[in-house]
Chain A
Amino acid sequence: MSGRGIRLWLGLVTLALMLAALYMIFVYVPTEAEQGIVQRIFYFHVPCALVAFVAFALVAIAGVFYLWLGQQVWDDLGYAAAETGMVFCTLVLVTGSIWAKPIWGAWWTWDSRLTTTLILWLLYGGYLMLRAMAGDSEQGARFGAVVGIVAALDVPIVIVSVRLWRTIHPAVLVTRQGGHGLEDPRMVATLLVSLAAFTTLFIWILCLRFATLRMHTRLGALARSLALAEAAAQDS
């Protein structure tokens, strides 16, 4: 199957899973007793966060391979993962803020989980700015790989922040007492389906962006060959 075919199938699987997740979130899952209907933001908020963490880990892995092997394909993968991760990280911050307003009474608070997530967003925002300014240079790609690796060190800090510092952010997936904080098995099932939908969505978007960057790389190589061929034709 061609790359385009795989992307089409991934898109269709994502659509089906997303529809199933939406059905479960708005019809199947019971309303949480304390927070009410607004708690349903959780079913997209958490998968967005997990997908963003995976994306940033991928940036670091691709950065290591780029520095080690020097192959353009790893740089393209890292760039695609960083951009996709930024989209999901932005959604985490925005949906978290919207959820916080009716529950905490404020759009934002300098809580440890929120602050470390904002730092993560700023670090990868810096990565993307660096890449945009450096253009297609090899030096820019090398600097980008280093920034991508260093920035990913914030991911485990975000994850353990609710255990390390005093926080009002709920530790739902793994509570301080152990186990998970979801009271109803239907909530667990809904979260898992939503997680599957966002995982395939992430892979699909990553494939799309990666294909675009590969095409850009191919175009750059072709432009250089063409310039050389035209110069040779004019000389002869």
Chain B
Amino acid sequence: MENLSYLFVAYAIIFAVIFGYVIFIWRRQAVLEAELRAMEARMRALEEGAGPPQPAARPGS
């Protein structure tokens, strides 16, 4: 069982990096979905002539 700590650290880093990246994508996606829903609602409101027009928000990347 020599060098077990190296094996453990290598696998821990792999899973930590992959989980971290997937969570980053999910969070980014949730933010964009919320922005998209809000913008679509404003577009519908503008087309129907209801509600005061507001300045367009700049989307995040």
As a 0/1 sequence over residues 132 to 166 of chain A, the CB contacts with chain B under 8 angstroms (1 = contact) are: 00011000000000000000000000000000000
Query: Which of A38, A90, A136, A229 is the one whose CB lies under 8 Å from B17?
Result: A90
B3 pairs with A208, CB closer than 8 A: no
Query: Which of B22, B26, B53 is the one whose CB lies under 8 Å from A234?
Result: B53
Shortest beta-carbon distance from A110 to chain B in Å: 21
Name the prevailing secondary structure of the B interface residues.
Answer: helix
Task: State whether the Cβ of A219 lies closer than 8 Å to any Cβ in chain B.
Answer: yes
Query: Which of B1, B35, B46 is the one whose CB lies under 8 Å from A229?
Result: B46
- In the complex, identify which listed stretch (A56-64, A65-73, A178-186, A210-218) lies at the interface while the others stay far away: A210-218
A226 pairs with B21, CB closer than 8 A: no
Q: Which chain B residue shows the least CB distance to A207?
A: B25
Q: Which of B1, B7, B13, B42 has the most CB of A within 10 A?
A: B7
Task: State whether the Cβ of A109 lies closer than 8 Å to any Cβ in chain B.
Answer: no
Contacts of A101 in B (CB 8 A): 6
- State in angstroms the CA–CA spacing of A205 and B46 once bound together: 36
Task: State whether the Cβ of A169 lies closer than 8 Å to any Cβ in chain B.
Answer: no
Interface residues of B in 18-61 (CB under 8 A from A): 18, 21-22, 25-26, 28-29, 32-33, 35-36, 39-40, 42-43, 46-47, 53-61
A44 pairs with B10, CB closer than 8 A: yes
A95 pairs with B36, CB closer than 8 A: no
B25 pairs with A208, CB closer than 8 A: yes
Query: Which of B7, B14, B36, B43 is the one whose CB lies under 8 Å from A40?
Result: B7
- State in angstroms the CA–CA spacing of A89 and B17 once bound together: 12
A229 pairs with B43, CB closer than 8 A: yes
- A-B contacts, 19 of them at CB < 8 A, read A38-B2, A91-B18, A94-B17, A95-B13, A95-B14, A98-B6, A99-B10, A101-B6, A205-B18, A209-B25, A216-B59, A219-B35, A219-B36, A219-B59, A223-B58, A226-B56, A227-B55, A229-B46, A229-B53
